[in-house]
Chains A and B, each alone.
Chain A
């Protein structure tokens, strides 16, 4: 094959495709023999005609919904599986950090497992001998290295696995949801380690559902959808597109949860929604403490005397951070056939993370004489919809709600501290 060699860390993919055969079940001999006669099997392109060119030292985030082909792409990049179409050329050694702790056997000691796992990742005995102490030190399990791994905590297990994988001198590092490893201290250690690797020119390809992490670590983003490359460019744009994909998906199938409010009709249809920042432009990302204005375009098919909006903020895990019905502050009456934009301003006292705002429109009772009457009469007049957004909160605050505690009278700001330290350098 007359092919020019690529430098270590470079990746070239041309028309890359991977087709899977959908088996109902594992094929058996009988099926195999029958199939030779009349072969009709369902086929599925998990990855279709993808072009990709990555230079040494780049950090690329691969995003996409479940089943978009991310994992297939990683499997191809580390050579676990071969392409069905197109061509893939990778220069240098690939370390798949998807294979953390692969081959760890519970009966074997940490030491023995380091050798087994390291060999699977392609290290020679001599290399392992040389780097053994470094690996153990990184994993922080020195005291238990001669204990069978079955007595390890899951954190120790992961740390040792990560340590081995991180010490394979690779030109390309593949990361799959990896940084959820261990406690915060260890995560920071991993991130620092990766930063060092990148300085030495290691290429990083990252797949994660944690968009924040990818945005921090990568400058380039690739969005896959249905096995095809939808976008390849700056990570911030990729993240925006990814959010649109996930948001539209959750809008379409947002299940109506049984609430305390009956869904009467679709008389107050929601036409469109926008999340707008204080400067007036539409956004998906907000800083913690900023106010998001949610603009909801509604169309009334009958006259609505006391229209209101109901909102809920949901965390990434789906738990309700906050919920309120706007029934005690209705908007002016809507005439039949009228279209109008209703808005809510929400101060985002939230920490860093992905959130969704769920919203629906309804009507209250303008003639109610008490709060109880009002609540009893309210009705939901649109289906519930959701919009995803993300918050970059204060770096020192954890949890979901940023209560902005004052330490000695001051709300902490790590960025200012960083800046002042930099100045004093």
Chain B
């Protein structure tokens, strides 16, 4: 018998532990049961982060906004990409990009960072990285409102395309959640993961069409950027504000990445869920 942990009929829950790990379906069920914990931790995280700051939650918008301004000023001097509403183009992409990078940056180390929680009481450890993803979503929603306002001021009035923001967010949410789950599990065992994440985000930024249009690329670089799993949601985000074409292959690439990472996350967590505490 490899592993077991089961819960019996409603009234009396049963905890059965016998080495190995937690069966995947059981883990999913437990994580689902802990969803309210997940939301409460996400809210706490979001709230605590900005409570002492004078500008408070405004920082969630100020940072990607600043990045958009700097990029558009710098890039428009170096290269002419011929993108209308260039600043809005950059801002719409970076808002979603900031979501991805903050979810991975915070969630990827979350199990270790919350050692005081996880070494003393049990809940599925997947809750911690997932809470980081949810917490990032709050900031994203604030950013989205400002984005729409800025776009309107710039003359790009939102129309029915705006609905594309929903699949963009859902897809990016799934992608960052699965990736964060994998990183968080590995980080417990290999603390290098923290630096791997920093390096990855640095390189990744340039192979994602954030400050250049995909149409300007040709050959292998075009293929690389098209197949980048972050590209699909970012292009959808651009399209939701400014209209435009989203290559189906990019969306498929994101979906494939979600499935692969999802399976990896599930295997890792079902094997290690009860072992993380030993290394904290």
Q: Give the residue among A1, A92, A93 with the most B Cβ atoms within 10 A.
A: A1
Q: Write the chain A residue with the least CB distance to B192.
A: A29
Task: Tell me, rounded to whole Å, the shortest Cβ–Cβ distance linking B9 to chain A.
Answer: 7
* Contact indicator per residue, chain A 111-147, by CB within 8 Å of chain B (1) or not (0): 0100110011110110000000000000000000000
B275 x A27 contact (CB < 8 A): no
Report yes or no: A116 in contact with B14, Cβ–Cβ below 8 A. Answer: no
Contact of A80 among B13, B48, B277, B279 (CB under 8 A): B277
- How would residues 63 to 106 of chain A score, 1 for a CB under 8 Å from any chain B CB and 0 otherwise? 00000000000011011111111111111111010110011010
CB distance from B94 to the nearest CB of A (A): 28
- Nearest CB in chain B to that of A13: its residue: B17
A residues within 8 A CB of B191?
Answer: 26-28
**Nearest opposing residue in chain A for B8, CB measure:** A5
Looking at B78-86, B103-111, B112-120, the stretch in contact with chain A turns out to be B112-120
CA distance in complex: A112, B44 (Å): 8
Q: Which of B115-170 contact A (CB under 8 A)?
A: 116-123
Contact B15 A90 (CB under 8 A): yes
User: In the complex, are the beta carbons of B278 and A108 less than 8 A apart?
Assistant: no
A102 to B123, CA, bound (A): 13
- Cα–Cα, bound, A108→B47 (Å): 9
* Chain B 236-280 interface mask (CB, 8 Å, partner A; 1/0): 000000000000000000000000000000000000001101110
Cα distance A120–B124 in the bound complex, in angstroms: 10
> Are A5 and B121 in contact (CB-based, < 8 A)?
no
Per-residue interface assignment for chain A, residues 34 to 61, with 1 indicating a CB less than 8 Å from any chain B CB and 0 otherwise: 0000000000000000000000000000
Known: A27-B189, A96-B120, A102-B117. A84 touches B19 (CB 8 A): yes
Q: A102-B121, A121-B121 are in contact. Are A28 and B15 (CB under 8 A)?
A: no
> Would you call B215 an interface residue if the criterion is a C-beta within 8 Å of the partner chain's C-beta atoms?
no
CB of A171 closer than 8 Å to a CB of B: yes
B224 at the interface (CB under 8 A from A): no
B40 within 8 A of A: yes
Cβ-closest chain B residue relative to A90: B15
A8 near B117: Cβ-Cβ < 8 Å: no
Q: Which residue of chain B is the closest to A14 with respect to CB atoms?
A: B18
- Is B1 on the interface with A (CB-CB < 8 A)? yes
Alpha-carbon separation in the docked complex, A103 to B41 (Å):
9
Question: Do residues A87 and B12 form an inter-chain contact, with CB atoms below 8 A?
Answer: no
Residues of A near B277 (CB, < 8 A) are 75, 80-81
Contacting A32 at CB < 8 Å: which of B40, B47, B121, B190? B190
Tell me whether A94 and B15 are in contact in the complex, defined as CB-CB below 8 angstroms, given that A20-B278, A32-B190, A105-B48 are known contacts: yes
Q: Does A240 contact B (CB under 8 A)?
A: no
Q: What's the least CB distance linking A368 to chain B, in Å?
A: 62
Return B251 CB to nearest CB of chain A, in Å.
Answer: 33
Chain A minimum-CB-distance residue to B18: A87
Rounded to whole Å, the gap between the CB of B20 and the closest CB of chain A is 8
CB-contacts of A1-18 with B (<8 A): 1, 3, 5-8
Indicate if B29 sits at the interface (CB-CB under 8 A).
no
Contact B36 A82 (CB under 8 A): no
- Please indicate the chain B residues that have their CB under 8 angstroms from the CB of A6 in the complex: 12, 14
Report chain B residues within 8 Å CB of A338. Answer: none
Tell me, in angstroms, the Cα distance from A85 to B19 when the chains sit together: 6
**Structural contact, A83 and B18, CB atoms closer than 8 A:** yes
Complex formed: what's the CA distance from A112 to B279 in Å?
Answer: 29
Chain B min CB distance to A272 (Å)? 43
Q: Does A107 sit at the interface, judged by CB under 8 A?
A: yes
Q: In the complex, how many angstroms separate the beta carbon of A88 from the nearest chain B beta carbon?
A: 5
Note all chain B residues with C-beta closer than 8 A to A21: 278
Q: Are the CB atoms of A119 and B37 closer together than 8 Å?
A: yes
A120 touching B37, Cβ below 8 Å: yes
Q: In angstroms, how far is the closest chain B Cβ from the Cβ of A256?
A: 39
Residue contact B120 to A87, C-beta cutoff 8 Å: no
Q: Which residues of A lie under 8 Å from residue B275 when comparing CB positions?
A: 81-82
**Interface 1/0s, chain B 59-88, versus A by CB < 8 A?**
000000000000000000000000000000
CB distance from B1 to the nearest CB of A (A): 7
Partner pick for B274 among A79, A96, A107, CB 8 A cutoff: A79
> Of all chain B residues, which has the CB nearest A104?
B116
A99–B40 touching, CB < 8 Å: no
B14–A90 CB distance below 8 A: yes
Say if the beta carbon of B216 comes within 8 Å of chain A: no
Residue of A nearest to B21 (CB): A82
Indicate if the CB atoms of B48 and A108 lie closer than 8 Å. Answer: yes
* Complex contacts, B9 vs chain A, CB 8 Å: 5
**Chain B contact residues, CB within 8 Å of chain A:** 1, 4, 6, 8-9, 11-21, 36-37, 40-41, 44, 47-48, 51-52, 116-123, 189-193, 196, 274-275, 277-279
A-B contact pairs, 11 of them (CB 8 A): A3-B6, A3-B14, A7-B12, A26-B191, A78-B121, A80-B277, A81-B278, A88-B18, A91-B15, A93-B13, A171-B12
